[in-house]
Chain A
């Protein structure tokens, strides 16, 4: 059975994922062979991986799970989700079928296996995290189950040794009419005309919808409904294992290297982290920004920045952290240092030049890497904040306005701010309220984005000019702006492509 104390890290910075103490566990170090592409993750990993692998694999899987979660919150159907996830899975967690033998196959499956177990450790601490993890892992499993090769899937299911009785030919003949009627017809080929017998309690949803034939407490489940059985079993197994893991967790505290990584991982579950990419500043069709452009452009800002902008205009001032957050964002969208200084100087209109120069100018230059130590200048100042950064920093105090409004505002205030910026559809507001209630702030923000750009998104999807990756979940305010601006200026000489930038149709 599963043990969960695979947490020792030896002095050579290797994460040793053994499930027994080393001296007793020689035989356990044998690597698993991964006969099947699908995995119920019953056996914990036993081989060693580097700490870098440990972290990178976990982050990759986390990316996949976060995207899956975003799909559910945006009510994407199964097909739409599968389509959307294709490129993401290909990039972060590819799993090829058994027909392509070789070392790659083994590596892919190993990464899948290990990353699952690492996240299991990271997400077993609280009931809420366990539930989310279980739900998303189930979705991922289902996604893969669906596109698995028919034969391979069959082999995998057999290997599970679930207690399913195959309905024999004689009984099939006897019950044929009823079996077909219960399945709702539409079973053309012979392959589909296979049934399992299980206690009806194992398939309550199929029973509720009268999609199985019942006889004396047994449900006759058609082959094609097999998935719901396997998936239910997967969830059950995982839930039980997570319970066990959570009880074994305290032992992990001994480890000084894994603990921070795991803590970081579970934190990132709030929103996937995204580094600011300088390409976000390079927007096709957007002319050189000036201090004067910001008022207009603020319509394309995410709520966190729009809120800062509004506050700035109302008070002619912003407190330190708000200023820092906003300055970095403006730098991120391509505002030059000089224009940025002009912007702030004009904005603080109740302030003397002298005071501004003394107390503010330096900070702006510092943010841009124009002054400060070598490392600051080399790194061209600070990086614009990501959603994750905004979501994990301390909450603003009185008079402060920085951070993510989805997190920092009371739901009522949030809703009225959203209404003020034109989000007026009741359903959207209602779901946003639910999102923030569940602390899914970035999901709420993405939802608002999709609603505000629904016409444009439909268009670029329909004409195929944007692919799924272009419409990834937004996890950075600068991505929000860039995507918003591009979508609102479609057909104005920009093709919505990241690089290049000769257009000059900056609109007022």
Chain B
């Protein structure tokens, strides 16, 4: 079957290049800015406050306080941060405090993040009662943070310079007040997006191109396949439409299902969806991982249709998962027919380096030539199970099952790679290149290199960088979500009135 991936996104010279996560990033901070050198390490508040003020004086011509607090079409956060005298080169380390500070000040789209979680421009409890959890530079983990407005979140980020932060549920009361409540039951999670976490670690037993934290374009296909299968199920089967996929910054992806119907689900319903999508059972020692009944459930039938093309190219050709005899014995174990197994074993013993694609083809060839003691239907089903074992999404289901589970925010920086956790446009999921995702140092450099043209209106910092398409995508996504919540609000009021009457 032909490979359906678009080759443009993976230039031949680069496709097999492994990405070492520390590549190009040398830990030599190049700080040419006096205020930067003053920057103390957080979270010592007083001096940080001082340096914050200095920085803002340096970058801002307006005071940005409160500008994210409402829908008022005033200055945006980005306006608050130009012009930019900060010089950052690729030799700066992405975890330097000044880099992180500049990132939160100039690039992080707090305004859209606020709108995304608040579902409206006007500050409301949807945002104010949300839990944020900060991971500080000294690895301290601060839970139950909450913020009335985007700007206060931004301020705390600039002050504490978290290496990343996570987003939890919206609670019945402000998370910061949880200890002052008389009854513990008064503090309970009310809603959160349904989330998914797909991580390459779960593919380590079938991934041959890379190990550990490294990824390349070949293995990224595992994540692409997972996104395709999960996304379509969430849309077609469950009827969700506001699904945000986000690159996790290294070797995986997260999904945020933001439809109100999804946000309100209790744990039982989250478990139901996780279970519906989960297929592989058993650990590395468990033998056959896919055991599904026939006829295949329509969701699995559809998934198989999507996945079998990838299987030919991405798995058989690129991963070559059964090259060694040790690996091919696993393949044999997955076949139900002892006669066929023996025949294949014999054949492969005499040709030790036979490629996986040929071995896969051998199964049918030998079966046809009579080495089959069971029915061809059984063989077909076993082969389908194998395709699923090597391609079907491997979800970290526990993440999805709990309303109060926290997940890393979009647009934060992965502390190991310096890459921004950007959204993935599912309409062009196959073009997404994790190795092409900008790093924070690269972005700040792009701001510096940007040349203001005569007569052009003020341009926000993120617009000067390769982060622009990602922020644009996010902005549109959030706008779509807010649009849908608007009539819902009205409808609720209407229904409320009806109920009163009743």
Scan residues 279-309 of chain B and give those whose CB is less than 8 A from a CB of chain A: 293-301
- Cα(A157)–Cα(B238), bound, Å: 26
Complex Cα distance, B259 from A180, in Å, reads 30
**Chain A residues in 8 Å Cβ range of B27:** none
For B298, list chain A residues within 8 Å (CB): 178, 181-182, 213
User: Contacts A201-B265, A207-B276 known; A214 to B295 CB distance under 8 Å?
Assistant: no
Cβ of B478 to closest chain A Cβ, rounded Å: 22
- CA–CA, A26 to B239, complex, Å? 51
Complex Cα distance, B297 from A215, in Å, reads 13
A210 proximal to B (CB < 8 A): yes
Given contacts A204-B272, A207-B273, A208-B272, contact A181 B301 (CB under 8 A): yes
- Decide: A214 and B237 in contact? CB cutoff 8 A: yes
Interface centre among A200, A205, A209, A213 (most CB of B within 10 A): A200
Measured in the bound complex, the distance between the Cα atoms of B294 and A147 in whole Å is: 29
Closest-by-CB residue of B relative to A214 is B237
Question: In the complex, are the beta carbons of B238 and A184 less than 8 A apart?
Answer: no
A94 and B272 alpha carbons, distance in the complex (Å): 37
Identify which of A182, A210, A217 contacts B238 (C-beta below 8 A): A217
Residue A216 is within 8 A (CB to CB) of chain B in the complex:
yes
- 8 Å CB contacts to B: which residues of A222-261? none
B272 lies within 8 A of A205 (CB): yes
Interface membership of B85, Cβ < 8 A: no
Question: Contact mask B236-253 → A, CB, 8 Å, 1/0?
Answer: 111110000000000000
Chain B residues, Cβ within 8 Å of A181 = 295-298, 301
Contact in complex: A204, B261 (CB < 8 Å): no
Q: With A and B bound together, what is the CA distance between A208 and B273 in angstroms?
A: 6
How near does chain B come to A182, taking the closest CB pair, in angstroms?
5
- The answer to whether B261 and A217 touch across the interface, beta carbons within 8 angstroms, is yes
With A and B bound together, what is the CA distance between A217 and B240 in angstroms?
8
List A residues 422-465 near B (Cβ within 8 Å). Answer: none
B295 to chain A, nearest CB (A): 4
- Chain A min CB distance to B291 (Å): 13
Give the A-B contact count at a CB cut-off of 8 A: 57
Is B211 among interface residues, defined by CB-CB distance under 8 A?
Answer: no
Q: List 16 A-B contacts (CB under 8 A).
A: A178-B298, A181-B295, A181-B297, A184-B293, A200-B238, A204-B269, A205-B272, A207-B275, A208-B276, A210-B275, A214-B276, A214-B299, A215-B236, A215-B239, A216-B236, A217-B240
Residue of B nearest to A204 (CB): B272
Q: Please, which residue of chain A has its CB at the minimum distance from the CB of B294? A: A185
A204 touches B295 (CB 8 A): no
User: A204 contacts B271, CB within 8 Å?
Assistant: yes
- Asked if B268 is at the interface of the complex by the 8 Å CB criterion, the answer is yes
Complex Cα–Cα for A213 and B265 (A) = 20
Which residue from chain B places its CB closest to the CB of A207 in the assembled complex? B272
Contact-size category for B = 20 to 34
Flag B18-62 by CB within 8 Å of A: 1 or 0 each. Answer: 000000000000000000000000000000000000000000000
Query: Shortest distance in angstroms between B300's beta carbon and chain A's nearest beta carbon?
Result: 8
Give the CA-CA distance A181 to B292 in the complex, in Å.
12
Interface residues in A178-224 (C-beta closer than 8 Å to B): 178, 180-182, 184-185, 200-201, 204-205, 207-210, 213-218
Judging by beta carbons under 8 Å apart, are A216 and B295 in contact?
Answer: no
A408 to chain B, nearest CB (A): 32
Name the residue among B240, B297, B299, B301 with the largest chain A CB count within 10 angstroms.
Answer: B297
> Do residues B293 and A217 form an inter-chain contact, with CB atoms below 8 A?
no
A200 to B239, CA, bound (A): 10
Contact with B along A270-296 (1 / 0, CB 8 A): 000000000000000000000000000
Chain A hits for B268, CB < 8 A = 204
Residues in A whose Cβ lies below 8 Å from that of B239 = 215-218
Residue of A nearest to B264 (CB): A201
Q: Is the CB of B275 within 8 A of A215?
A: no
Measured in the bound complex, the distance between the Cα atoms of B237 and A180 in whole Å is 16
Complex Cα gap A210–B292 (Å):
10
Complex Cα distance, B240 from A347, in Å, reads 77
Residue in A178, A200, A209 whose beta carbon sits within 8 Å of that of B275 in the complex: A209
A388 → B minimal CB distance (Å):
34
- On chain B, the residues within 8 Å of A210 by CB distance are 275-276, 297, 299-300
**Chain B binding surface, main DSSP class:** helix
- Chain A residues closer than 8 Å to B301, beta-carbon distance: 181
A14 to chain B, nearest CB (A): 36
A209 and B237 CA atoms in complex are apart in Å by: 14
- Give Cα A180–Cα B294 distance, bound, in whole angstroms: 11
Q: Say yes or no: B238 contacts A185, CB within 8 Å.
A: no
CA distance A200 to B269 in the complex (A): 9
Taking CB atoms, residues of chain A closer than 8 Å to B273 are 207-208
Kindly state the separation between the CA atoms of A476 and B238 in the bound complex, as whole angstroms. 53
Shortest Cβ distance from A94 into chain B, in angstroms?
Answer: 36
Chain B residues in 8 Å Cβ range of A215: 236-237, 239
Cα A205 to Cα B261 in complex, Å, equals 18
Q: Pick the residue among A180, A207, A208, A218 that contacts B295 (CB under 8 A).
A: A180
A185–B272 alpha-carbon span in the complex (Å): 22
Could you say which residues of chain A place their CB within 8 Å of the CB of B295? Answer: 180-181, 184-185
* Residues of chain A within 8 A of B297, CB atoms compared: 181-182, 210, 213
A180 to B297, CA, bound (A): 9
Q: A178 vs B237: C-alpha distance in the bound complex, in angstroms?
A: 12
- 6 closest A-B pairs (Cβ-Cβ)? A217-B239, A208-B275, A204-B272, A214-B237, A216-B239, A181-B295
Q: How far is the CA of A200 from the CA of B236 in the complex (A)?
A: 13
- Closest-CB distance, B482 to chain A (whole angstroms): 21
Min Cβ gap B377→A in Å is 13
Specify the chain A residue showing the minimal Cβ separation from B239.
A217
Nearest CB of chain A from residue B191's CB, rounded to whole Å: 14
**Chain B proximity of A188: nearest CB distance (Å):** 15
Of chain A, the residue at the smallest CB distance from B233 is: A214
- Closest chain-B Cβ to A217's Cβ sits at a distance in Å of 3
Which chain B positions have C-beta within 8 A of A201?
261, 265, 269
Residues of B within 8 A of A204 (CB): 268-269, 271-272
**Chain A nearest Cβ from B401, distance in angstroms:** 10
**What residues on A are CB-neighbors of B261 within 8 Å?**
201, 217
Which residues of B lie under 8 Å from residue A207 when comparing CB positions?
Answer: 272-273, 275-276
A48 vs B367: C-alpha distance in the bound complex, in angstroms?
78
Chain A nearest CB from B399 CB (Å) reads 16
- Name the distance in Å between A235's Cβ and chain B's nearest Cβ: 13
Residues of B close to A214: CB separation below 8 A: 237-238, 276, 299
Chain A residues in 8 Å Cβ range of B272: 200, 204-205, 207-208
Q: How far is the CA of A215 from the CA of B240 in the complex (A)?
A: 11
Q: Shortest beta-carbon distance, A84 to chain B, in Å?
A: 29
Task: Give the distance in Å from the alpha carbon of A204 to the alpha carbon of B269 in the complex.
Answer: 6
Give the shortest distance, in Å, between B392 (CB) and chain A (any CB).
13
Bound CA span A180–B298, Å: 9
Chain A residues near B237 (CB-CB < 8 A): 214-216
> Chain A residues near B296 (CB, 8 Å)?
181
> Other than the known A181-B295, A217-B239, what 10 A-B pairs have Cβ atoms closer than 8 Å?
A178-B298, A201-B269, A204-B269, A204-B272, A207-B273, A213-B298, A214-B237, A214-B276, A215-B239, A218-B239
Q: Contacts of B271 on A, CB cut-off 8 Å?
A: 204, 208
Q: A184: nearest residue on chain B (CB-CB)?
A: B293
Bound-state CA distance A63–B302 (Å) is: 51
Alpha-carbon distance between A165 and B237 when the two chains are bound, in angstroms: 18
Among residues of A, the one whose C-beta sits closest to the C-beta of B299 is A210
Nearest chain B CB to A474's CB is how many angstroms away? 36
- Expressed in whole angstroms, the minimum distance between the Cβ of A415 and any Cβ of chain B is 32
Chain A: CB-nearest residue to B270: A204
By beta carbon, the residue of chain B nearest A210 is B297
Q: How far is the CA of A214 from the CA of B275 in the complex (A)?
A: 14
Q: Cα distance A218–B301 when bound, in Å?
A: 19
- In angstroms, Cα B57 to Cα A300, docked, is 89
**Cβ contacts under 8 Å, A184 to chain B:** 293, 295
Shortest distance in angstroms between B268's beta carbon and chain A's nearest beta carbon?
5
Please measure, in the bound complex, the distance between the C-alpha atom of A40 and the C-alpha atom of B301, giving whole angstroms. 39
Q: How many Å lie between the Cα of A184 and that of B268 in the bound state?
A: 23
Chain A neighbourhood of B276, CB < 8 A: 207-208, 210, 214
Complex contacts, A216 vs chain B, CB 8 Å = 236-239
